[in-house]
Structure 1
């Protein structure tokens, strides 16, 4: 099954196909009305590179807060739980940033939205570095989170609709750079020392500024999502089609919340589980690092695969493989390797699902913002929720609990595949 059926021969007298098809262009007629939209590239090559650097930065920013906790505790005299509120403030700001910038998408130029996001990240990070007290530091983390959410939403949205049939591949490349940043962030804190975290945040703030000059390579008007042939325009009335669309969106949200919960659950509980079943602390730490590394590698590996196979097929295989690996992780000797497999299989789900969502719900403009915000909330809620379940089930049950959640993700994917399958023409 592929995303891209063989093109049919044009009838005699029809216009010659655009020889630039496949370039980094938005679609020329995505509404089905025959009214063409701008064929200007959504991204120039330099803007694509800058966007990948931007995703490395937001990956690093998210990863800074945890390793900086010892320095924060020493600087402000905090308990571990209070010091951990820095990351919570970041995520709250991220969700708010996604929802706020979604309101501006289409009303304000893409360049202005992205520029404001980079500036908010820079100002918030600098403020976090120099804050004289903890309440101001939390406010700065919230501000940086706003910018984080704007970049996360803005670039994911534009990549999802701006590359035609290559959007799935490009989204996987983009999000792989997030993983690179998330791997490098803790390394930077470790090199300079947690007590010198302000230096890292200040350098991060300055690193955002050159990206502002690359925004000239981003098309200012947003491309529209591709619309499947024959899909009806929204009428405002509640129809069976509207109710079906709401069901599809609800299941997409569930898929995103649950799979990000698995991602965060493995990252948070893998070391504890591995030590509980008999592996040393060094093995547990290394295996957890490999898990995050495999997530990054998996997104690069799936980019060429996404040019041949549909999003439905990729996500179905990913959920099935993730479930199988989590079941294998219940075997102590196989657990470190199985968790690496989980990282490999879970990697494509987030970026691959967005183009599928845009194709399935072309009129639901806010769908992308809802699932991205939901994914952030899934990451926040996963820790406490899984912790409560583990209190009565025990740490050894972690992979089995996550495998059950993964099985729900697989069921949701199969349902979405059936629900979004194009209706045959009569």
Structure 2
């Protein structure tokens, strides 16, 4: 089934989720380019700035922990609305804190941004999994590709704003307002009931204890470990790849930046093409190939001995690491019952590995070198390949029910 074969409302649904994913990527990356200006404005050291930025991670983890239950109770659409509003508001608060100047206010703004990101990401991934059930084809990798495109656009906009000396408050204020507006555009086109759990004894099932059940499901845990390993590979490259190229190969800063650009470019392309590959070859085969590429690319970066083959390794690493997270989310959301809780559980493991794993890798790299520390990444992607059969599709028998919920949501609005 192609998108042209389904109703215009489903097309609007998919496009809306795509737009919100891209807007989230823009919002998430643009402010990062202003961190030198924010640090200078606050007059703090790099170590203090690191603790301030930790507010983003803390907020994101808190949002992820709450998201499964809230999506199950209120539906993905409402949580996306709340998440988008918090994200935009947090970015604006960050801008105010930068010019105040107030480190505490910047920390608070980033924590609000992270909380909104955590809530919204689970809702968006639940929407993506529901779309896959309706269309009976892979969608989530492309949606994550939209996020990757958004990060590239956001980085470009932030770099241009910094180069043009646009005040941080103006840049982040406009960015925050645009994020809220994009979210408002998108949620008006989303069905109302996606992700809502059935009522059990007068209470939503999300409040009746499924969290413990989900965390005891073997398949969900295996998917979570797959995502953990692949997200760790992505996070390790995002945080340490340029420095590793400098330390390991004596590269200049421009070449080091290029290495990360190659990684991101191939990661984005892999996600945009990933849906078609999954539809043709299946999740398990694509995941095994992706993990193999990530393993080969990381190994080549470690042992290449020269900058040129190391760049090839960066490309393979990015192409492979790109698909672990979206394929895991797709598998976690295969069935409607407790889908939000499963997606939340998998996302918690993935984002924890992405956010917390790389700093631990840095501590290891302090003792043995960054390139050698990447051997830990190999363990994660090897485990993902070994467990790949866990992402085999589950039940697809709820397509008609999902379409009924979509029609009901339109009538309710």
TM-score (norm 1): 0.78
Q: Residue in 1 aligned with 2:387?
A: 412
1:372 paired residue among 322, 347, 359? 347
CA distance in 2, matches of 1:104, 1:363: 12
Cα distance per residue 1:102-148 (max 9 Å; x no partner): 22223224433222222212221111111221112211211122221
2:256 paired residue among 269, 284, 304? 284
Question: Within 5 Å, which residues of 2 pair with 1:229-308?
Answer: 246-275=217-246, 276-308=248-280
CA distance in 2, matches of 1:118, 1:243: 27
CA distance in 1, matches of 2:174, 2:357: 31
- Counterpart contact for 1:245–1:361, Cα < 8 Å: no
- Counterpart contact for 2:81–2:187, Cα < 8 Å: yes
Q: Residue in 1 aligned with 2:286?
A: 314
Question: Within 5 Å, which residues of 2 pair with 1:55-94?
Answer: 55-94=21-60
CA distance in 1, matches of 2:148, 2:368: 31
Q: Residue in 2 aligned with 1:23?
A: 6
Moved more, 121-130 or 195-204: 195-204
Q: Which runs of 5+ in 2 are unaligned?
A: 198-207, 396-413
- Measure how far apart 1:79 and its partner are: 1.0
Question: Within 5 Å, which residues of 2 pair with 1:19-418?
Answer: 23=6, 44-131=10-97, 132=100, 133-164=102-133, 166=135, 169-193=138-162, 196-211=167-182, 212-222=184-194, 246-275=217-246, 276-329=248-301, 330-333=303-306, 334-359=309-334, 363=338, 365-414=340-389, 416=390
SS at 2:173 equivalent = helix
Count of aligned residue pairs for this structure pair: 373
SS at 1:98 equivalent = helix
- Counterpart contact for 2:126–2:195, Cα < 8 Å: no
CA distance in 2, matches of 1:139, 1:289: 30
Cα distance per residue 1:199-248 (max 9 Å; x no partner): 221111121233314423211012689xxxxxxxxxx99xxxx7996332
- Counterpart contact for 2:76–2:196, Cα < 8 Å: no
- Counterpart contact for 2:328–2:391, Cα < 8 Å: no
- Counterpart contact for 1:168–1:352, Cα < 8 Å: no
Cα distance change of structure 1 residues 326 and 361 upon mapping to structure 2, 3 Å threshold: farther
Q: Which runs of 5+ in 1 are unaligned?
A: 5-19, 25-40, 226-235
